[in-house]
Structure 1
Amino acid sequence: MASWNSIPLEITYQTVGWIAFVLWSISFYPQVFLNFKRKSVVGLNFDFVVLNLTKHSSYLIYNASLYFSSAIQNQYLEKYGHEQMIPVAANDVAFSIHAVLLTAITLFQIAIYERGNQAVSKIAIAIVCVVWIVAAVCTFIALPRHSWLWLISIFNSIQVSMTVIKYIPQAVMNFMRKSTEGFSIGNILLDFFGGLTNYAQMAVQSIDQNSWVNFYGNIGKTLLSLVSIFFDLLFMCQHYILYPAKKALNSPESKSTEDRQSEMCEV
C-alpha cells in the first residue's frame, strides 16, 4: 500500500478529516436537543429517521470492514493497484459509529415524545425490509467465494441509495406544511460544512498521490457528500427563503388579537 509523499499534506488530511468528523457528528445534536426541549417530535419526519438508521448502519459496515480487515484491504489493492491508499480513514469509522448511536437516540425520542398523528409510513418500512433482505442474500452469496470487497460495496451502494431516499420525505413534509418548524436547521448547516470538508480531505489525498482513484475507488463517500450537500441547500432554501417561520412569527401581522390587546393593556 502506498505511503504519503508529503508530511504537510498528510497532516492536512488528518486535520481536515477530523474537522469533518466534528461537524458531521455535532450536526446530530441540534435535532436531539430540539426534541428534548419541545418534548415533541412533531415536524420531524419519522421516515427520515428510520431510513437514516439503515443508511448509517450500512455505512458503518463498509467503513469498519475496509479500515480494519486486511483481507478486504488486499482485495481493494488488487482491484485498484498496490500503489494506492485505502480510502477510509479513522475519522470515517468514528463518524459512522457516532451516527448510528445518535440516530438510534433520535428514534428513541420518537417513541417517547409527543408525535401527534405522525407515524412511520408503510413505504419506509417496506424499503428497510427489502434492503436488509437483499443484504442478507448478498452475504450468503459472498461467503463461499470470500468476495468481501464486493459485499461491502453492496453495503456502500445501500448507504448511497438511502442517502438519496431519506431526505425526500422530510423535504416533501416541509413543502406540505409550508414550514420547517420542528426540523432543526442547525443540523443542516453543520451537515453542509461537513460535506465540504469531507471533499477537501479526499482532494488532499488525491493531490498527494497524484491520482483520483480515491474518489471513484470509494464512490460511496463521494456520492454521500454530493447528495447531502444538494439536499442541505434545498432545506436551507426552504427554511430561509420559502418558509421563513421565525420572521413570520415576529411580524406584526402574525400576532393574534389577544396578543395585541395584551400589549395595549400593558401600555
Structure 2
Amino acid sequence: MASWKSHPLEIAYDLFGWIAFLSWSISFYPQVILNYRRKSVVGLNFDFLVLNLTKHSSYLIYNASLFFSHVIQGQYRKKFGHGEMIPVAANDVAFSIHAVLLTAITLFQVFIYERGDQKISKTCIALTSVAWVSAVVCFFITLPHHSWLWLISVFNVIQVVMTAIKYVPQVYMNFKRKSTQGWSIGNILLDLLGGLMNYAQMSMQSIDQGSWVNFYGNIGKTLLSLLSISFDFLFMCQHYLLYPSKKENVSSKIDLADTAPSQPSENV
C-alpha cells in the first residue's frame, strides 16, 4: 500500500482537491439561478444538459467504484503497480454526486420554464443511447471474467467522450445567435478554476510519489480537465471578445422598451 512521503504535499493535495470540488460544484449554480430569475431557459442548449447528465453519471460510476471497491483497487494496483496510490480522491466522488444532482435540477427547469422552440436533437438522443447501450453490453461482457477495472474504464471513456461533445452544441448556439445571453459566464469562470485546481492536485501526488502514473492511470480525470479548460477559454472568447456588443444591444433594447412612454390611443 502506497502512502504519502511528504505531509505538506498531502495537505496541498487535499486543499487543491477541495478547491476544485467547490469551484466545479458552485459552477452549476449561476445557470440554475439565471434560469430561475428569468423564468426561462432560452439560450441554454438542451443537448448540452442531456450529454452532461450522461457524462456525470458515467463519471460517478467510475469514481465511486474505484474509491470504494477493494476488488477494483486490487485490479488497479495489479495493472499499474502495487506501490501506486489510487488516483481517485474523496472530493472526486463528492463532486460527481453533486454534479448529477444539479444537472438533473437544471433539466427539471427545462420542463417548468419558458423554452421557446428549443428541443433535444435527434443526434443527442442517438449519442446518448449509443453510450448507455455500449455500457450495458460491456457489463455483460465483464460478468464472466470479473474484469471490473476494465468495465469502469469504459465509463471513464464515456465521460471523456461526452465531455468532448457536450460543449459543442452550446458553442454552436452562441455562434449562430451571435450572443451568449442566457448562458452563464459565471459557470465558465468557476469551471476554469476547478480544472486548474484539478491539475494542481494531481501534480502534488506525482511530485510526492515521484511517478506520473496517476495522470495516465486515471486518464479520464486528466482529459476531463484538459477539455474543460480548452472549452472554457473558447466560451470566454465568445462572451468577452466576439459577442459582447450583441449582448449589450439586446439589453439596451429591452431597457428602452421598458422605459419608453406609451403612445396615447386615438379616439374613434
Range into which the TM-score falls when normalised by the shorter chain: over 0.9
Alignment match, 2:15: 15
Alignment match, 1:183: 183
Partners of 2:143 and 2:184 lie apart in 1 by 42
Structure 2 unaligned segments of length 5 or more: list them. 263-268
Partner amino acid, structure 2, of 1:154: V
Partners of 1:90 and 1:142 lie apart in 2 by 26
Partners of 2:69 and 2:41 lie apart in 1 by 39
1:246 deviates by: 7.6
Partners of 2:184 and 2:143 lie apart in 1 by 42
Alignment match, 1:93: 93
Where 2:144 maps in the other structure, the secondary structure is helix
Asked if structure 2 preserves the Cα contact closer than 8 Å seen for 1:17 and 1:197, the reply is: yes
Alignment match, 2:72: 72
1:217 deviates by: 0.4
Partners of 1:258 and 1:173 lie apart in 2 by 27
Partner amino acid, structure 2, of 1:23: S
Where 1:144 maps in the other structure, the secondary structure is coil
Alignment match, 1:3: 3
Farther-moved stretch of structure 1 (185-194 vs 245-254): 245-254
Alignment match, 1:173: 173
Farther-moved stretch of structure 1 (76-85 vs 248-257): 248-257
Alignment match, 1:216: 216
Asked if structure 2 preserves the Cα contact closer than 8 Å seen for 1:239 and 1:245, the reply is: no
Alignment match, 1:132: 132
Where 1:145 maps in the other structure, the secondary structure is coil
1:252 deviates by: 7.9
TM-score, length-scaled by structure 1: 0.94
Partners of 2:255 and 2:72 lie apart in 1 by 61
Partners of 2:52 and 2:13 lie apart in 1 by 27
- Cα 1:24–1:258 change in 2 (3 A) is closer
Equivalent residues in 2 for 1:154-173, closer than 5 Å: 154-173=154-173
Partner amino acid, structure 2, of 1:191: D
- Cα 1:42–1:142 change in 2 (3 A) is same
Partner amino acid, structure 2, of 1:201: Q
Partners of 2:46 and 2:203 lie apart in 1 by 35
Partner amino acid, structure 2, of 1:210: G
Partners of 2:89 and 2:37 lie apart in 1 by 35
Partner amino acid, structure 1, of 2:233: L
What are the superposed Cα offsets for residues 105-160 of structure 1, whole Å, 9 maximum, x if unpaired?
00000011100000000110111111100000000000110000000000000000
Count of residues in Structure 1 that have an aligned counterpart in Structure 2? 262
Equivalent residues in 2 for 1:16-35, closer than 5 Å: 16-35=16-35
1:249 deviates by: 3.5
1:50 deviates by: 0.3
Alignment match, 1:265: none
Alignment match, 2:83: 83
- Cα 1:75–1:256 change in 2 (3 A) is same
1:254 deviates by: 9.3
Partner amino acid, structure 2, of 1:242: L
Structure 1 consecutive aligned stretches of length 4 or more whose deviation exceeds 2 Å: 245-262
Partners of 2:127 and 2:63 lie apart in 1 by 22
Asked if structure 1 preserves the Cα contact closer than 8 Å seen for 2:46 and 2:119, the reply is: yes
TM-score, length-scaled by structure 2: 0.94
Q: Could you say what the CA RMSD is over the residues aligned between the two structures, in angstroms?
A: 1.9
- Cα 1:45–1:154 change in 2 (3 A) is same
